[in-house]
Structure 1
Amino acid sequence: MSLQYQLMAELEKAFDDLVEATEALVASARQHPPAMWRFDGEADIDWLMRALTDYWYQDGQDGRATRDHVGVVVANDELLEHALNVNQCKDAFARQLGVARKQHPAMIAELKATLPFRHPVLHDHLKGSGMARLHLKQCWRRLPIADAPVSRIRLAWYSSGRSIKRMSVADVEAKLARLNNEAAHVQIQYRLLASLPDGEMLAQVQTQAPLMRANLFFREPLEDGHTRRAMNVALPLFVPAPDNRLPQINQPAPNPPEKRTRALRGDSKLESEPFIPSLRIYRYRF
């Protein structure tokens, strides 16, 4: 068996396991309907199924963007077990993807196009909907699950997130080399970079899309003494509750704020303006 064939077979099995685990969760919810709340409309089992099986790119969708399905699902022990199993399958699928990307990256594009055909129900759902390729991150992103019963959930948009990657001058120079070296603005940035000491570390900053964040207030303190926890909730949040009762939930604004929701820290380690704008490279303050 060739390496590519073996990798594809393992990925297909991981995807099958994920779909089957998700179908089992939805079937359990249909048999014993849980209390649910939805941020942008009416919550029902069909909405839950769509949210949990939204694995696809839509026409024109930015490949880096994901669609959110914010809501709350009250889970009994059986439903909670299904949710945990779905996350295990998502983790397994993500691990297999990591292996494939490392050992045979060319197969990823084929994977996005062929996996949907393995599940006729999912494939039929795509027909005429402008969705035909698998969105891998929307497959492996985990379901948020509360650690214990919750009395209150406070939802709020979070618009100040950013990822920062430390890079050497040589790393930045290599990235600049991939741009159009004849362009005047690239030449200017080359000269700026050349003025720095070779040992200086720089930062590449990626502003993250606004996301919904949930502050959970537990009914009883956890074993470690904590009474609350914050988590991002791009998918329905599963909260254990033997009494099938929804916690108190606020209704946040329908859209994220246009500006940052948190003030800039006065002790920010990065300069306020990019040093190499084309690559979003900043210098650290000294």
Structure 2
Amino acid sequence: MPELPSATYRLLAELESAFDTLLEQLEQVALIFEQGNYPAWIFEHEEDAGKWLRRALFDMWHEEGQDGRETRNYIGLIGADERLMDAVLQANSAKEEISRLINRIKTSSPQGVSEAKARLPKRHPDVNEALRGGGLARLHLKQCWRHLPVAPAAVARVRLAWYASGRSIKRLTVAEAEQKLLQLDTDAAHVRIQLRKLADIPSQETLAQVQRQAPLMRANLFYVEPLADGHIRQAMNVALPLFVPIHRGRLPDYNTPPAHPPLQRTRARRRDEKLEDEPFLPSVRVYRYR
């Protein structure tokens, strides 16, 4: 690897310190939970709640063959008093600092993130187990900085449901779409065909690149009293355990969703959906607008 700029090394040192802080804050969350008698519900797991939470908090590894864009889910509800909630919020602040520093390192040097991934696992308490179990201990940055979901006020009930039809849509110019195709094997027949198709449409046309999102669990929270903004209901994604303030000594009313997401789309197709049904440039997931 080429020598990194001195500014990048300084940022890497800051990142190592921030990562140590994150591990300390996560340890605090785990210890406080283990030492207290907190109400908890875990989705589709029967193991001890303390062990499960610790595994959820410290899971920052890539599994063999795992898509780097995907993260593992740890779905559950945990009733939290002020002490536990404060520890969770501090852990989230530490996660925000990790994300901020990674973005600065990316800007400083493209190779800096690779160096960070090589350094940080050595500071992780489970690194030896990860090395024994799966070869290289590769840090999963998205699982490192994703927030622990928190309800800001007492919740009366929680309704959990799979959301399996999500997608992200990014607008592209024709020139940008062409650049994405040119990064592929331009000697391949299917790529040449797509380049010709692209050349036949107006250069000012707007296209859309679509990324299908993995199924996720969505929680609808119904609060005991309206929030400061007047809302009494809030929806949030819950890939990690949801911490809710203890109300009347117990968890809010909740449902148990199906064990697996639906195989087919469950929501009706939006009437205003403007993209064509078939991709215009399949190799780069680009669609035309109707």
**TM, length-normalised to structure 1:** 0.95
Partner of 2:192: 187
**Could you tell me how far apart the structure 1 residues matched to 2:193 and 2:123 are?**
51
- For 2:229 and 2:132, the matched residues in 1 are separated by 50
Correspondence for 2:42: 38
RMSD: 1.5
The 5 A counterparts of 1:137-176 are 137-176=142-181
> 1:250 and 2:278 equivalent?
no
Give 1:179 shift. 1.3
* CA-CA distance at 1:242 after TM superposition: 4.7
Q: In 1, distance between residues paired with 2:242 and 2:70?
A: 20
| Structure 1 counterpart of 2:20 | 16
Distance 2:143 2:191 in 1: 35
Deviation at 1:29, TM superposition (A): 1.3
In the TM superposition, residue 31 of structure 1 has moved relative to its aligned partner by 2.2
Q: What is the alpha-carbon distance in structure 2 between the residues aligned to residue 94 and residue 37 of structure 1?
A: 29
User: What is the CA distance between 1:106 and its match in structure 2?
Assistant: 0.8
Find the aligned partners of 2:7 and 2:227 in 1 and give their Cα distance. Answer: 46
182-191 or 149-158: bigger deviation? 182-191
Give the CA deviation at 1:181: 1.4
SS at match of 1:57: coil
The number of residue pairs the alignment matches comes to 284
SS in 1 for 2:126: helix
TM-score (norm 2): 0.94
Amino acid at match of 2:96: D
The answer for unaligned runs of 5 or more in structure 1 is none
Q: Secondary structure in 2 aligned to 1:239?
A: strand
Distance 1:213 1:171 in 2: 33
Residues 152 and 248, structure 1, Cα contact 8 Å, conserved in 2: yes
User: d(CA) in 2 for partners of 1:243 and 1:22?
Assistant: 26
Which residue of the partner structure matches residue 198 of structure 1? 203
Q: Provide the C-alpha distance between the structure 2 equivalents of 1:125 and 1:218, rounded to a whole number of angstroms.
A: 41
Structure 2: unaligned runs, 5 residues or longer: none
Per mean C-alpha deviation after superposition, the further-off stretch among 89-98 and 127-136 is 127-136
Give the Cα–Cα distance (whole angstroms) in 1 for the partners of residues 59 and 189 of structure 2. 44
Aligned to 2:33: 29
Shift of 1:107: 2.5
1:166–1:201 Cα contact (<8 Å) kept: yes
Structure 2: how far apart are the matches of 1:107 and 1:224? Answer: 41
Is the 1:76–1:242 contact (alpha carbons within 8 Å) kept by the matching residues of 2? Answer: no
